[in-house]
Amino acid sequence: MGSIKGDLLIYNSLRGEKLVFEPLKEGFVGLYVCGPTVYSNVHLGNCRTFISFDLVYRYLIHLGYKVRYVRNITDVGHLTDDADEGEDKIAKKARLEQLEPMEIVHQYTMDFHKVMEQFNAISPNIEPTATGHIIEQIEMIQAILDNGFAYESNGSIYFDVEKYNETHPYGELSGRKIEDLIANTRDLDGQDEKRAPLDFALWKNAQPEHIMKWPSPWGIGFPGWHLECSAMSTKYLGEQFDIHGGGMDLKFPHHECEIAQGTASNGKSPVRYWMHGNMLTLNGKKMSKSTGNSLLPEELFSGENDLLDKSYDPMVVRFFMMQAHYRSTLDFTSEALGAAEKGYNKLMEAMKSLDEIVGGKEADSGQVKPIVDSFYSAMNDDFNAPVLLANLFEAVKLINSVKDGKASVSTEDLALLRKEMQAFVYDVLGLKAPGSEGDNRINPVMDLVLELRQQARTKKDWDTSDKIRDGLAAAGITVKDSKDGTSWN
């Protein structure tokens, strides 16, 4: 793969270096990304991680791979302390709102899908839910138990970290040493079901008041958050698959535990390339729902937040995210977003010009090919979108020079530039031209409706004219009459 386009290098967090990507099966890629825990609206930080992996997915497709992209929905088992203590995040929200947990799950899954669509993120091929895979999770726990890496305690099952560490290094992904981890964990208080503090729950026995629970060979309970991802990735991608992604904050313990669970159940380290996206920060601190240091995408699209002086198109926000490499932190400021808007507009203007310019007979040859090659070399270098953008702006310079008559390119080169720029801007970066998705049939329809309203007014048929105005208002359209005529928005 990629002899013309070059080798794809991926930074593998497990190895701490960039490595040439070699899929397990030529031409195919299995990609798993940890999805959201659907107990609240996704904030812009969550979106950054999902958009980063949308870029990865898009580029793999562009390179010609057949990708199976699995991104789960965590709808049970993620506890408030992100480990084994506290309440289930979804059950807690359901209790507070006096709703069924599945109402919470549905509401925030819908919100997540809407936001991803606004950002033009391609839907994964499979979006499994944890509650839909309880049987697979029980089977995996049984395999870990059978292999001697877990134990039962009071109807709960815990992974025996120290036992595992005798044969496999626990902490290899996050670079932690088991001795340090042990030294840093608090002592068990005697009430604890665990044998050792580092052990983590695969299955938890449910108290009678617990709402989300299922029967298992060990009694009524619910699965551990780490186990869900192991069971779902194994089911759809196999015991070993190519790429696993998620935010940096999931490296430990979530992904470390996934490695341990996969290895303990079938003897294979589950993932070949671990990829971790860095955090979106606000005021220099991780954007996070629990600390209140977060922004919702909708606030950006409507401009309704004190940090902003105007609204921003989702594509501007996406462009803003593409200006940073996925492994670098990105700080959100309204100035940076304003600058991204200028950059996005400039790129889109050039895309329009690219459609309009024509190839010349007396063309300078040899300018286009190196620019196009630079698109590939940027993305082949661990999906380096900011370098790709810089290289696309080299092409923008050339397009503008041709437009101004200061340079010319051959018809053949122009065709190549068009094809590759469209591919990289629209297909790989996932940007859309402003208004490209808008339904432009609304304008003639509104002209017709307003004409009918005007006719009714002329005939003093106030019932009809009010009905039209109220009907439009209900659809979120405001009609304004002034001495210059009628307008709507």
Name which of ligand AMP, Zn ion, none residue 76 binds, using a CB cut-off of 5 to 8 Å depending on partner kind: none
Q: Does 325 bind ligand AMP (CB under 6 A)?
A: no
Count CB atoms within 10 A of the CB of residue 105. Answer: 25
The nearer residue to ligand AMP, 252 or 488, going by C-beta atoms, is 252
Instruction: Select the binding partner of residue 216 from ligand AMP, Zn ion, none (C-beta < 5 to 8 A, by kind).
Output: none
- Is residue 286 close enough to count as binding ligand AMP by CB under 6 A? yes
Considering the complex, state which of residue 115 and residue 229 has its C-beta at the smaller distance from Zn ion.
229
- Contact between 468 and Zn ion per CB under 5 A: no
Residue 43 or 254 having the CB closest to Zn ion = 254
Report the nearest approach of ligand AMP to the CB of residue 129 (Å): 14
76, 157, 271, 280: residue in contact with ligand AMP (rule CB under 6 A): 280
218-247 positions binding Zn ion, by CB under 5 A: 229
Residue 124, binding choice from ligand AMP, Zn ion, none, Cβ under 5 to 8 Å by partner class: none
Nearer to ligand AMP, 232 or 279 (CB): 279
The residue at minimum Cβ distance from ligand AMP is 247
| Closest by Cα among 239, 227, 241 to 275 | 241
For ligand AMP, the closer CB: 34 or 425: 34
The contact mask relative to ligand AMP for 224-263 (x = CB under 6 A, - = no) is ----------------------xx-xx-------------
CB of 10 to Zn ion, least distance (A): 19
Please report, as residue ranges, which positions from 34 to 53 form the binding site for Zn ion (by CB under 5 A).
34
Q: Do the Cβ atoms of 396 and 345 come closer than 8 Å? A: no
Q: Name residues whose C-beta falls within 8 Å of residue 138's C-beta, 6 or more positions apart in sequence.
A: 203, 216, 217, 223
Residue 52: which of ligand AMP, Zn ion, none does it interact with, CB under 5 to 8 A by kind? none
Q: Which of 282, 348, 341, 346 is nearest to 313 (CA)?
A: 341
**How many whole angstroms separate alpha carbon 84 and alpha carbon 192?**
11
Residue 31 lies near Zn ion (rule: CB under 5 A): no
User: Which residue stretch of 8-16, 175-183, 280-288, 301-309 sits at the interface with ligand AMP (rule: CB under 6 A)?
Assistant: 280-288
Which of 157, 227, 232, 279 is close enough to bind ligand AMP by CB under 6 A? 279
Size of the site for Zn ion (CB under 5 A): 2
Which amino acid makes up residue 290?
A: S
Residue 48 or 244: the one with the smaller Cβ distance to ligand AMP is: 48
Specify the residue, 263 or 278, whose C-beta has the smaller distance to ligand AMP.
278
Q: Which is nearer to ligand AMP, 125 or 290 (CB)?
A: 290
Task: Indicate which of Zn ion, ligand AMP, none lies near residue 247 (CB less than 5 to 8 Å, by partner kind).
Answer: ligand AMP
Is residue 36 near ligand AMP by the rule CB under 6 A?
yes
Least CB distance to ligand AMP at residue 285 (A): 9
Q: Which residues pair with 370 in a beta bridge?
A: none
45 binds ligand AMP (CB under 6 A): yes
229 is in the binding site of which of Zn ion, ligand AMP, none (Cβ under 5 to 8 A by kind)? Zn ion
Interface residues for ligand AMP in 151-210 (CB under 6 A)? none
| Residue 442 burial (10 A CB sphere; 0-12, 13-18, 19+) | exposed
- What is the C-alpha to C-alpha distance for residues 70 and 245, in angstroms, rounded to an integer? 10
340 sits near ligand AMP (criterion: CB under 6 A): no
Contacted entry of ligand AMP, Zn ion, none for residue 296, CB cut-off 5 to 8 Å set by kind: none
Check residue 49 for interaction with ligand AMP (CB under 6 A): yes
- Provide the minimum distance between the beta carbon of 32 and ligand AMP in the complex, in angstroms, as a whole number: 12
* 168 vs 286 by CB, closer to ligand AMP: 286
Choose from ligand AMP, Zn ion, none: what does 331 bind? Cβ within 5-8 Å by kind: none
Tokens of 394: 């080299």
Binding-site size for ligand AMP (CB under 6 A) equals 16
Secondary structure (H, E, C), the chain = CCCCCCCCEEEECCCCEEEECCCCECCEEEEEECCCECCCCCCHHHHHHHHHHHHHHHHHHHCCCEEEEEECEECCCCECCCCCCCCEHHHHHHHHHCCCHHHHHHHHHHHHHHHHHHCCCCCCCECCECHHHHHHHHHHHHHHHHCCCEEEECCEEEECHHHHHCCCCCCCCCCCCHHHHHHHCCCCCCCCCCCCCCCEEEEEECCCCCCCCECCCCCCEEECHHHHHHHHHHHHHCCCEEEEEEEHHHHHHHHHHHHHHHHHHHCCCCEEEEEEECCEEECCEECECCCCECCCHHHHHHCCCCCCCCCCCHHHHHHHHHCCCCCCCEEECHHHHHHHHHHHHHHHHHHHHHHHCCCCCCCCCCCHHHHHHHHHHHHHECCCHHHHHHHHHHHHHHHHHHHCCCCCCCHHHHHHHHHHHHHHHHHHCCCCCCCCCCCCCHHHHHHHHHHHHHHHHHCCCHHHHHHHHHHHHHCCCCEEEECCEEEEC
Among 12, 41, 46, 165, binds ligand AMP (CB under 6 A): 46
At 5, the amino acid letter reads: K
- Min. distance of Cβ 244 from ligand AMP in angstroms? 11
Q: Which residues bind ligand AMP (CB under 6 A)?
A: 34, 36-37, 45-46, 48-49, 246-247, 249-250, 279-280, 286-288
Binding site for Zn ion (CB under 5 A): 34, 229
